[in-house]
Structure 1
Amino acid sequence: MFHPLRVGAVERITDDAVAVTFEVPDALRETFRHVPGQHLNVRYEAAGEEIRRSYSLCSPAVAAPDPPVLRVGIRLVDGGTFSTYALKELTVGDQVEAMPPTGRFTLEPRPGLFAAVVGGSGITPVLSIAATLLAREPLARFCLVRSDRTVASTMFLDEVADLKDRYPDRFHLVTALSREEQAAGLPAGRLDRERLTSLLPALLPVPEVAAWFLCGPLGLVREAQRALRALDVERGRVHQEIFHVADSPAPTATAPDAANAAGAAGSGGAVGVAVPAEATLTATLHGRSGSWPVEHGDSLLETVLRRRADAPYACKGGVCGTCRAFLVRGEVRMDRNYALEPEETDAGFVLACQSHPLTPEVAIDFDR
């Protein structure tokens, strides 16, 4: 469900990025209290078309009874309707509709050593994770490896520097710039698998890291995954969130590095199963179920949206995970999957926006 939120602040943090703070009414405090690492799905109408986007919260999670702080980072995307609006028109006092915080790229504060590899705007959720962890858990440490093009393009530069000043013994920061030499630190260049494989063991005891958080463009996340595999890091300790996916052929189930893309999901798998001429979808949402025919070429989400405008979604690109649903019956093909962890797909969850029926009958449950 969407709620109107008043814009409390719009801060320019780079030439092409802003931080937007939303005010939360007293009656919605608990509704909008977030876990560090979650994101907001926002809704905006442009030229009569509804635009939805997902933006990660960069603010630390605040415990009751203090009011939650909702601050997101928005970077301008070429052709991006909402990001252009946010950078050029959005101002204090405007109202934006938002859903309650969601997402599973999270960390509940606990003792231990944690690490992140981020690129560009991928710093946004990790900033919330690190700031909350260090403030709440005195026995926790955090190592942040971040990659940016230049210093001028680096989002939340001051906020990260503040963490370094406040927690000098528990927060370790390493910055790599791909297009600019630094006076001190790493030489310029991209963080690829080879570079990360040699860099990470030099920074911290890799086997002792309780959890890794990879966030940013697909290329960086994929290279970091490969590096961690080469360092024998258990898959269960690695969490990822993709921020940018270039338009390219959809990954398949046989592509091992395609950000855990699923080619098929269902009981026993469905690779090679012919697409049925007709299919019926049964969907459960907010406790109500309905069954409808799937029009040729439509995804499960598109089928539901034709009858239920309240179906959850944001990016429609297999990235945000908002349309996650449990596959109750039947088999589907997912064109791409950059949001669900392997254990989620193994348990039967799919992305409705990317799923197409492979059997005459399919049933999903958004409420699981």
Structure 2
Amino acid sequence: MADETSIYRLFTVTNVISETENAKTFEIAPADGKSAEYRAGQFITLVFKKGQRENRRSYSFSSAPALGEPMRITIKRVVNGEYSRQLLTNLKVGDTFLSSGIAGFFRLPDEWEHLQHLVFLAAGSGITPVYALLKTALHTTSLPVVLLYSNYSREDTIFYHALISLREQFPGRLKIEFLFSQSETTRRRLSKFLLNELLDQHTIPLKESVFYLCGPESYMLVAGISLITAGVPEKNIRKENFNTRQHVFKPVPPDTDPHQVKVLLKGRHFEFDVQYPDTILAAAKKRNIHLPYSCEAGNCGSCAATCVKGKTWMAYNEVLMDDEIAKGKVLTCQGFPVGGDVELEF
């Protein structure tokens, strides 16, 4: 059984910045004074405890560590969002909160040689991880960057003035298209036709560009399908999904027999049996084994581990790319051991 004190880390709020009427940026730092490593585009998972009940919410970093910026998360008020309202209303300088860790696969490529363009598509608070990636790309590469950013109005646009400043700082390299649904112009909302028009306007080489998408579920669906039908290879599309809704239907794995799972996590070894309908994560939670997780829907990647022995099968996966799966990555919240026992490393 894992010691709870070893799986959480305390962070302190060091500054609060109002971005819009419904969004704030919180500068944070580890309370123990030690460093916390992360990459642009990743997120931190906050743990909220009420008695024996525990809920988790993940918030993306808007800061770029490669630029030496303080660690920042940007949060927008969500309608009926219990924790976003709580944080925006109550969190102040000096307050602390628990985190179960930093994770995320919404990151810049490790290799740049074949790329000619980076294209970012964001809506609303989806700009948060995109902003971190965009800043990093502008300062650490020579690639041209295009941002398509959808909001209700200019006043509701997080980082509007900062983005304008970046465009002035990188003339010619950074192109921004602001889309306001409140606007009277024809370019109000992203659609298949408008997206194709913008791709042509900015002469985007579809097969030599990487596209990053972050926003509401409906926005992501339209943008993703539109890019694929336009000719963008699916492997060139990266998505960050804030949706935490659980799947109603759970596909049955090809093997529903019980199998042993061995886990290596931060120097600790755990062994337990897993059998459908329990996923690897669900089986661990039943035994009070504290594995990393957040959304439990296959959307965020907090629970990702590497399968070093045996074979796993995933019911849903909205995070891992084919090359990552080929290297053994598995989402334990959607993963099942199949064909025998498995060993996982976090």
In structure 1, distance between residues paired with 2:82 and 2:138: 36
- Which amino acid in structure 1 is aligned with residue 218 of structure 2? G
Secondary structure of the residue aligned to 2:153 is coil
In structure 2, distance between residues paired with 1:181 and 1:47: 47
Q: 316, 336, 352: which one pairs with 2:332? A: 352
Number of the residue aligned with 2:126: 122
In structure 2, distance between residues paired with 1:26 and 1:300: 32
Number of the residue aligned with 2:3: none
Shift of 1:78: 3.9
Number of the residue aligned with 1:98: 99
- Which amino acid in structure 2 is aligned with residue 363 of structure 1? V
Q: Does the aligned pair in 2 maintain the 1:192–1:220 contact within 8 Å?
A: no
Distance 1:136 1:182, change over 3 A: farther
In structure 2, distance between residues paired with 1:104 and 1:15: 30
Shift of 1:246: 5.4
Number of the residue aligned with 2:231: 232
Number of the residue aligned with 1:255: none
Secondary structure of the residue aligned to 2:200 is helix
Shift of 1:200: 1.4
Q: Does the aligned pair in 1 maintain the 2:14–2:94 contact within 8 Å?
A: yes
Q: Does the aligned pair in 2 maintain the 1:35–1:108 contact within 8 Å?
A: no
Number of the residue aligned with 1:148: 151
- Which amino acid in structure 2 is aligned with residue 42 of structure 1? L
| Range with greater deviation from structure 2 (209-218 or 169-178) | 209-218
Number of the residue aligned with 2:44: 40
Number of the residue aligned with 1:4: 10
Shift of 1:203: 2.3
In structure 1, distance between residues paired with 2:77 and 2:123: 15
Shift of 1:133: 1.9
Provide structure 1 residue ranges, at least 5 long, that are not aligned to the other structure.
253-262, 265-269
The Cα offsets for residues 50-104 of structure 1, whole Å up to 9 and x where unpaired, read as 22221111112246xx5x5111111223443321221121111101123554322
Number of the residue aligned with 2:62: 58
Distance 1:140 1:328, change over 3 A: closer
Distance 1:153 1:47, change over 3 A: farther
The Cα offsets for residues 118-169 of structure 1, whole Å up to 9 and x where unpaired, read as 12211111101111222233x2321001122333332222222221232232
Q: Does the aligned pair in 1 maintain the 2:124–2:151 contact within 8 Å?
A: yes
| Range with greater deviation from structure 2 (200-209 or 70-79) | 200-209
Number of the residue aligned with 1:19: 25
Distance 1:279 1:297, change over 3 A: same
Distance 1:247 1:25, change over 3 A: closer
Shift of 1:301: 0.4
Distance 1:4 1:289, change over 3 A: closer
- Which amino acid in structure 2 is aligned with residue 344 of structure 1? E
Q: 300, 306, 326: which one pairs with 1:320? A: 300
Secondary structure of the residue aligned to 2:64 is coil
In structure 1, distance between residues paired with 2:305 and 2:227: 29
Distance 1:55 1:210, change over 3 A: same
Distance 1:169 1:199, change over 3 A: closer
1:211 aligns with 2:213: no
Secondary structure of the residue aligned to 1:244 is coil
Shift of 1:323: 0.5
Number of the residue aligned with 1:162: 165
Q: CA RMSD in A?
A: 3.0
Distance 1:196 1:54, change over 3 A: same
1:363 aligns with 2:303: no
The Cα offsets for residues 155-196 of structure 1, whole Å up to 9 and x where unpaired, read as 222222221232232211002223x1156xx5223x233432
- 1:194-209 alignment to 2 at 5 Å? 194-207=193-206, 209=208
Secondary structure of the residue aligned to 2:65 is coil
Number of the residue aligned with 1:275: 256
In structure 1, distance between residues paired with 2:125 and 2:310: 38
Q: Does the aligned pair in 2 maintain the 1:218–1:245 contact within 8 Å?
A: no
Secondary structure of the residue aligned to 1:135 is helix
Q: Does the aligned pair in 2 maintain the 1:328–1:362 contact within 8 Å?
A: no
Secondary structure of the residue aligned to 2:242 is strand
Q: Does the aligned pair in 2 maintain the 1:51–1:82 contact within 8 Å?
A: no
Shift of 1:287: 4.0
- Which amino acid in structure 1 is aligned with residue 135 of structure 2? A
Number of the residue aligned with 1:260: none
Q: State the identity %.
A: 25
Give the TM-score normalised by structure 2.
0.84
Q: 264, 269, 276: which one pairs with 1:284? A: 264
In structure 1, distance between residues paired with 2:274 and 2:79: 33
In structure 1, distance between residues paired with 2:184 and 2:51: 44
In structure 2, distance between residues paired with 1:42 and 1:18: 16
Provide structure 2 residue ranges, at least 5 long, that are not aligned to the other structure.
1-6
In structure 2, distance between residues paired with 1:240 and 1:280: 32
Shift of 1:310: 3.4
Q: Does the aligned pair in 2 maintain the 1:6–1:24 contact within 8 Å?
A: yes
Number of the residue aligned with 1:69: 70
Shift of 1:313: 0.9
| Range with greater deviation from structure 2 (125-134 or 91-100) | 91-100
| Range with greater deviation from structure 2 (218-227 or 312-321) | 218-227
